């Protein structure tokens, strides 16, 4: 992996000049996240076009371009199950926001209505590029500022231009004027833009408490999703009101594997049983729940596992939170283990702790399943799409390599993401994002941010 710069530049030129040429990544510790394949201490991954063709040891390279990645860890790309990408130019604008009401009032009521379609593009592209840079190869964009067809089109184009595996989940805005084109416009968007790297879901809220009944999940929106043949992602699933809604959805036949409930904090035991019984998926947002203080402020990992649900993980809102999956994995790992030990302290009981494998599974294979892409990505399984990471294991913060999964979860960060492939196409190489003019991007982001701040009405 630590070949000289000229050799790596030559290999990159080969990869880009010969698209579709087979690629053999050899010599790494391969963390497949596939139960049948496990971890290979010195393994190979063969990429054929956009697909993983083989995983093993001593694979025949044939006419493939051979890339020596010894001294590295190969993993599936991380999967983000819920991010409001359009907000990215407002990053850390309110790092110490104290509750959901503060976020809603400032961002959704204050800033969102002044967004132009161009601002949707800039924020979404920035979020997608940042995701790729930190190893996230699939991102569900919960695009809840779809004020017009143009706003949605610009958000979608940003995903396509970034080259990420994108899931566009559009929803009408909470507040302000909009064109009333949602949800009917989702069919047009899907027919025009859906492709190998872009899929669609319907985005909704759990209840009518924040933005009224038009955005709340129920029979009308469930039927719309079924007609479209897409899944549903339900945000703001909190507490007693959402628990009552979940029980109603079960009676109405509106739960199942194609429905994702986001956050799921403070739910009743009966609501959790309904979730488990129907195979409904869960997207946790560990830092969002804990830092912003959503309902109980405790990510609902124990509740999910108790009913047989292995959740995906998500970033949520960059206005107040970190942008990367490493932070989500570590936060969840630490919070759950702290709670487990605390609950058993002084009782003589054995704490039921999750492992580093668990949180990496949540961030990869389970995230893909939650996004409706479990057969497409999330593990290094032959036949799946070649979405994978080369993570440096001989860097100052990762050496020496003793446990590959532990190193990924507890040792590595975005600086160690050496290479990113999405559908067999290299998007980051030798630690550098490709096809991104950072100076131009910086100017566009600053200009968009300044417009939004200037245009927001005074409080």
| Per-position pLDDT tens, the chain of length 459 | 656 778 889 898 888 888 888 999 999 999 999 999 999 999 999 999 999 999 999 999 889 999 999 999 999 999 999 999 999 999 999 999 988 888 999 999 999 999 999 999 999 999 999 999 999 999 999 999 999 999 999 999 999 999 999 999 999 999 999 999 999 999 999 999 999 999 999 999 999 887 788 999 999 999 999 999 999 999 999 999 999 999 999 999 999 999 999 999 999 999 999 999 999 999 999 999 999 999 999 999 999 999 999 999 999 999 999 999 999 999 999 999 999 999 999 998 889 999 999 999 999 999 999 999 999 999 999 999 999 999 999 999 999 999 999 999 999 999 999 999 999 999 999 999 999 999 999 999 999 999 999 998 876
For the chain, the farthest-separated pair of C-alpha atoms sits apart, in whole angstroms, at 65
The encoded tokens of residue 330 equal: 């570590």
The C-alpha atoms of residue 162 and residue 140 are separated, in whole angstroms, by 14
Sign, CA torsion 125/128/132/138: negative
Q: Which helix (H) or strand (E) holds 408?
A: none
- Closest of 286, 241, 308, 294 to residue 268, by C-alpha: 241
Angle at 151 between CA 145 and CA 153, to 5 degrees: 125
pLDDT value at residue 270:
98
- Are 144 and 179 contacting, i.e. CB atoms less than 8 angstroms apart? no
Angle at 42 between CA 418 and CA 164, to 5 degrees: 35
pLDDT value at residue 434:
97
pLDDT value at residue 3:
66
The domains located in the chain, with CATH, are 5-77+378-430 (2.30.40.10), 78-370 (3.20.20.140)
pLDDT value at residue 210:
77
């Amino acid at each position: 992996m630590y070949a000289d710069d000229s050799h790596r530049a030559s290999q990159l030129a080969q990869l880009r000049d010969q698209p579709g040429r087979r690629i053999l990544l050899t010599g790494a510790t391969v963390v497949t996240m596939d139960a049948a394949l496990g971890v290979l201490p010195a393994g190979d991954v063969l990429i054929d076009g956009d697909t993983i063709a083989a995983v093993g040891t001593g694979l025949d390279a044939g006419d493939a371009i051979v890339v020596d990645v010894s001294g590295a860890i190969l993993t599936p790309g991380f999967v983000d199950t819920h991010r409001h990408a359009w907000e990215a130019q407002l990053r850390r604008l309110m790092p110490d926001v104290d509750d959901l009401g503060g976020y809603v009032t400032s961002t959704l009521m204050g800033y969102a209505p002044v967004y132009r379609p161009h601002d949707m593009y800039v924020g979404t592209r920035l979020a997608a590029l940042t995701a790729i840079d930190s190893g996230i190869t699939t991102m569900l964009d919960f695009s809840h500022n779809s004020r017009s067809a143009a706003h949605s089109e610009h958000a979608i184009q940003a995903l396509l231009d970034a080259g990420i595996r994108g899931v566009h989940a559009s929803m009408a805005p909470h507040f302000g004027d909009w064109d009333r084109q949602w949800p009917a416009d989702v069919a047009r968007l899907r027919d025009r833009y859906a492709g190998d790297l872009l899929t669609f879901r319907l985005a909704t809220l759990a209840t009518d408490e924040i933005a009224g009944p038009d955005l709340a999940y129920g029979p009308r929106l469930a039927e719309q999703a079924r007609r479209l043949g897409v899944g549903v992602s339900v945000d703001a699933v909190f507490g007693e009101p959402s628990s009552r809604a979940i029980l109603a959805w079960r009676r109405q036949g509106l739960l199942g594997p194609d429905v994702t409930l986001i956050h799921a904090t403070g739910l009743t035991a009966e609501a959790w049983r309904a979730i488990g019984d129907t195979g409904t998926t869960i997207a946790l947002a560990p830092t969002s729940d804990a830092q912003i203080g959503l309902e109980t402020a405790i990510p609902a990992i124990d509740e999910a596992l108790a009913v047989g649900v292995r959740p995906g993980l998500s970033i949520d809102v960059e206005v107040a939170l970190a942008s990367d999956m490493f932070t989500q994995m570590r936060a969840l790992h630490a919070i759950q283990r702290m709670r487990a030990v605390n609950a058993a302290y002084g009782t003589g009981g054995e704490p039921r702790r999750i492992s580093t494998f668990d949180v990496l599974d949540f961030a990869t294979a389970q995230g893909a399943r939650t996004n409706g892409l479990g057969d497409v990505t999330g593990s290094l399984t032959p036949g799946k799409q070649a979405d994978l990471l080369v993570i440096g294991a001989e860097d100052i913060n990762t050496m020496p390599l003793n446990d590959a999964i532990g190193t990924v979860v507890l040792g590595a960060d975005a600086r160690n993401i050496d290479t990113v492939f999405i559908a067999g196409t290299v998007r980051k190489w030798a630690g550098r994002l490709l096809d991104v003019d950072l100076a131009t991007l910086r100017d566009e982001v600053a200009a968009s941010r300044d417009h939004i701040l200037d245009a927001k009405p005074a409080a």
